[in-house]
Amino acid sequence: MHKKIMSTGLSWFWLALVIMLFDIGSKQFVMRHCWLSESVPVMPFINFTYAHNPCAAFSCLAEKGELQRWILSFISVIIIVFHLVIMYRLDKRAILTNIVYSIIVGGALGNLFDRMVHSFVIDFIIFYVGDWYWPTFNVADIGICMGAILGLVFLPVGHTTR
């Protein structure tokens, strides 16, 4: 069984774990060294601002209270399982496809960890240009977005099976 799994895209799961651990580690660093809502300039267009996000992107589901935690966690689990099934069906040599899915899974695992442990997602990166600010995000969000962008740009339609 192990040999079979190692010949599939699941052999790339290590990358998902690296993304998840980097995400959790960066959030632990921010929680230990910053006060909630404290903002620290990092570059002329990036601040680290420690925030708790109980909602989805752009405060989606904010009115649902504690229920949104479980809804978003359930959606995350579905996304993770879906991508892992696809990776299992892929050959390990489908490098770009496996990287795309691994970084999405790693990001989803990082944010799911936050929801399960803290009941909210820890965000801390704010990108801005002049007076225009992007909503606060984290390393997991970067993984999910980069995976989605790479997938849209580089993966052909119908690439998901052997």
Treating both helix axes as pointing N-terminal to C-terminal, what angle do 95-118 and 139-154 enclose, rounded to 10 degrees?
150
Q: Tell me the catalytic residues.
A: 123, 141
pLDDT truncated to tens, each residue of the chain (162 aa)? 566 778 999 999 999 999 999 999 999 999 999 999 999 999 999 999 999 998 765 555 555 667 888 999 999 999 999 999 999 999 999 999 999 999 999 999 999 999 999 999 999 999 999 999 999 999 999 999 999 999 999 887 665 544
